Structure 1
Amino acid sequence: MTNIQLEVLTSEDHQSPHKWCVPLKEDVFAAFMAKGGPIVHRVFGHKSLFGPLLFTKFFDPSDAFPLWEFEPAVLLSHLHNPCVDWFQTDASCILISQLPKIEKSSLGICVENGKVIEISGLWKKHGESRTTDWRSGKWWEDGFVRRLELPDNTDWKKMEVYVKNDTTVLDIRLPKLLQRNVEETRMSQHNA
């Protein structure tokens, strides 16, 4: 099994002021899924990390979700064989998720203001004539996103993200801060 480490960008590196400006509403999603083929159902299906129905009720994936505040066994209890799991150890917070069959080069990991991790990518290839950023319109027609709030007690600057090459599994590891560093981080965020 080969692990490929992905680069984690910050919102300063990955500026797109209009990204995710079109919210994915429940009725739009239902119509999109009804017309969609097998790849649409793989990318946005109810077991996928990128599906709006993953967390029991409809939740726009472009809105930040406080994942680590929930126990996976509770939040995913309605699913058999979910394609996502997260847990905490004494040293880190870990997220493991199967990815839809996409090109790994289209997968992007971005941290916004040290508070939100954004996992996004293209599931549909574009023609070269595309003039606008795919994230600024009906982004679900071309790509996918899941935005997750980062726990306060983690050091996002030391985050490691891997894609396991042979199984298309995303593995995100967020090291925890020492207690003193947690308090300093909260103070600096409060003063900002």
Structure 2
Amino acid sequence: MANWKQLEVHTEDQTPQKWSVSLSEDMFKRFFALGSPVVHRSFGDGSLFSPLLFGKYFDPSDAFPLWEFESDVLLSNLRSSGKTNIDWFQTDDAYVLKADLSAGLENNTVQFFVEHGKIMEISGQWKPKRDQSKTKDWRSGNWWEYGYVRRLELPGDADWKDTEAYVRNDLFLEVRIPKSSLDSDTPPAPGKGILAKISDHL
């Protein structure tokens, strides 16, 4: 039976200058060419955290408007070669992201943030800093040397306060962000959350 673990959705993060250092394409090429197997798994073809996931180079620390595009279009080449198990879509009442995290990442380090109700951030650290100084977080410098990130713009009608994020068997991430209802403030009926929908398919 599948083991689902809920991720805490953090909304308070006072880390100064977080993601302020951009990962340029030239820098990424040099870093990746000399990288370890963990680097290749974290940032390689098909990974949620790869700068090349969408067909062209895009710094994953910059917020990408994911739900403005169809996954079939942006991931067509990767899917045709069987290199990715990532999908995103929207239903009548929610925005959904599904991603395979099995590319060698230590998934118990995955953290989930929503910034100011506008940006969704999935990140994690796979290499501890030698300097354990508390004055500088790993995300404030050359973050790619220590971890990974994918930041996504939330649609304007996303009800981010009720975001749910789960990891199945420490391998598969599923995120559900309800759409805000302008007609009613009535909460959804019991059993209509992501776990109930997941259970229907087990």
Normalising by the smaller structure, the TM-score range is: 0.7 to 0.9
Cα distance between partner residues in 2 of 1:56 and 1:48: 12
Q: Please, what is the CA RMSD of the aligned residues?
A: 1.5
CA contact (8 A) 2:114 2:121 kept: yes
Cα deviation, residue 103, structure 1: 2.8
Cα distance between partner residues in 1 of 2:31 and 2:106: 22
Q: Which amino acid aligns with 1:119?
A: I
Cα distance between partner residues in 1 of 2:68 and 2:99: 17
Map of 2:169 onto structure 1: 165
Q: Is there any run of 5+ residues in structure 2 with no aligned partner, and where?
A: 185-202
**Counterparts in 2 of 1:47-66, with a 5 A limit?**
47-66=46-65
Q: Which amino acid aligns with 1:70?
A: F
Cα deviation, residue 66, structure 1: 0.1
Give identity over the alignment, percent.
54
CA contact (8 A) 2:41 2:105 kept: no
Cα deviation, residue 101, structure 1: 2.6
Deviates more, 1:134-143 or 1:171-180: 171-180
Q: Which runs of 4+ in 1 moved over 2 A?
A: 100-105
Aligned length in residues: 177
Cα distance between partner residues in 2 of 1:44 and 1:104: 15
Deviates more, 1:65-74 or 1:151-160: 151-160
Q: Does 1:135 align with 2:139?
A: yes
Cα deviation, residue 41, structure 1: 1.1
Cα distance between partner residues in 2 of 1:41 and 1:24: 16
Cα deviation, residue 98, structure 1: 1.2
TM-score (norm 2): 0.83
**Counterparts in 2 of 1:74-113, with a 5 A limit?**
74-79=73-78, 80-81=81-82, 82-99=84-101, 100-113=103-116
Map of 2:156 onto structure 1: 152
Q: Does 1:5 align with 2:6?
A: yes
CA contact (8 A) 1:102 1:122 kept: no
CA contact (8 A) 1:46 1:52 kept: no
TM-score (norm 1): 0.87
Map of 2:35 onto structure 1: 36
Q: Deviations over 1:98-124 (max 9, x none)?
A: 113333332111111101001110122
Cα deviation, residue 46, structure 1: 2.3
Matched residue of 1:78: which SS? helix
Map of 1:124 onto structure 2: 127
Cα distance between partner residues in 2 of 1:151 and 1:121: 24
Q: 2:177 aligns with which of 157, 168, 174?
A: 174
Cα distance between partner residues in 2 of 1:101 and 1:163: 15
Matched residue of 2:76: which SS? coil
Cα deviation, residue 177, structure 1: 1.4
Map of 2:71 onto structure 1: 72
Q: Deviations over 1:139-180 (max 9, x none)?
A: 0010001100011122110010001125x1111001111244
